[in-house]
Amino acid sequence: MNIADKIQETQDLLSTHSEWKDRYKVYAENLIANIDVIKSNRNRFNEFPPLYFYISTTNAKNAKTKLLLDIRYRGQSVATLKVNQNDITISTKKQADKNLRDFNCDIKLNDISWREKQVSEFRKFFKYRDNSRNDNDKNKNNEEHNVESLLLSEFSKKKSNSKQIKGIQPVKMCGNRFGMPTPIGASDHNELKYAKQYGGGIDIFARTGKGRATYLTVIEVKDEYNPKEPPKDALIQAIQYAVFIRELLRSDCGENWYKIFGFSGAIPKKLKLRAVCAMPLPDNNVVNVDKSFEKQTYQIGCDEIECHYIYFKYDGRQLYDFQTSL
DNA sequence: GCAAAAGCGACGAGACTGCC
DNA sequence: GGCAGTCTCGTCGCTTTTGC
Compute the distance between CA of residue A95 and CA of residue A109 in angstroms, rounded to an integer: 10
- A249 three-class SS: helix
Element (H, E) at A170: strand A168-170
Compute the distance between CA of residue A43 and CA of residue A239 in angstroms, rounded to an integer: 35
State, as a whole number of angstroms, the distance between the CA of A322 and the C1' of C4: 35
A23-27, A209-213, A275-279 — which is least confidently predicted? A209-213
State, as a whole number of angstroms, the distance between the CA of A206 and the C1' of C11: 24
Nucleotides on chain B within 7 angstroms of protein Cβ: 6-9, 14-19
User: In whole angstroms, what separates CA A51 from the centre of its chain?
Assistant: 15
Per DSSP (E only), the strands in A62-118 are 67-73, 76-83, 88-91, 112-113
For A59-104, how does the pLDDT look when each residue is reduced to its tens digit (9 = 90+)? 888 888 888 999 999 889 999 999 887 788 899 999 999 998 888 8
Measure the CA angle with vertex A302, ends A297 and A304; round to 5°.
20
Element (H, E) at A55: strand A51-55
pLDDT surpassing 90 at residue A16: yes
Is the CB atom of residue A265 positioned under 7 angstroms from any atom of strand C? yes
Half-sphere exposure of A102 (CA within 13 A, CB side): 23
User: Measured CA to C1', what is the nucleotide nearest A45?
Assistant: C16
pLDDT surpassing 80 at residue A141: no
Is the CB atom of residue A324 positioned under 7 angstroms from any atom of strand C? no
SS in 3 state form for A261-316?
Answer: CCCCCCCCCCCEEEEEEEEECCCCCCCCCCCCCCCCEEEECCEEEEEEEEEEEECC
User: Measured CA to C1', what is the nucleotide nearest A157?
Assistant: C9
Please name every residue paired with A3 in a beta bridge, in sequence order, or none if there are none.
none
User: Which sequence spans correspond to the domains of chain A?
Assistant: 3-33+144-324, 47-127
Confidence band, pLDDT 50/70/90 cuts, at residue A145: confident
pLDDT surpassing 60 at residue A137: no
* DSSP letters for A2-48: -HHHHHHHHHHHHHH--HHHHHHHHHHHHHHHHHHHHHHHHTTS--B
Q: What is the pLDDT of residue A317?
A: 80
Are residues A230 and A277 in contact, defined by beta-carbon separation less than 8 angstroms? Answer: no
Confidence band, pLDDT 50/70/90 cuts, at residue A278: very high
Q: What percent of chain A has a predicted confidence (pLDDT) above 90?
A: 26
Mean pLDDT score, A16-37: 89
Q: What is the pLDDT of residue A265?
A: 78
Element (H, E) at A216: strand A213-221
- A132 three-class SS: coil
For A186-245, how does the pLDDT look when each residue is reduced to its tens digit (9 = 90+)? 666 568 899 888 888 899 998 888 877 888 999 999 988 888 888 999 999 999 999 999
Q: What is the pLDDT of residue A189?
A: 59
Is the CB atom of residue A215 positioned under 7 angstroms from any atom of strand C? no
Q: What is the pLDDT of residue A139?
A: 54
Q: What is the pLDDT of residue A61?
A: 84
State the angle between helix axes of A231-249 and A3-16 in degrees (0 to 180), rounded to the nearest 10.
40
State, as a whole number of angstroms, the distance between the CA of A157 and the C1' of C8: 11
Mean pLDDT score, A168-188: 84
CB neighbours of A250 closer than 8 A, spacing ≥ 6? A267, A271, A301, A303
Is the CB atom of residue A18 positioned under 7 angstroms from any atom of strand C? no
Confidence band, pLDDT 50/70/90 cuts, at residue A8: very high
Q: What is the pLDDT of residue A157?
A: 85
Is the CB atom of residue A163 positioned under 7 angstroms from any atom of strand C? yes
Is the CB atom of residue A140 positioned under 7 angstroms from any atom of strand C? no
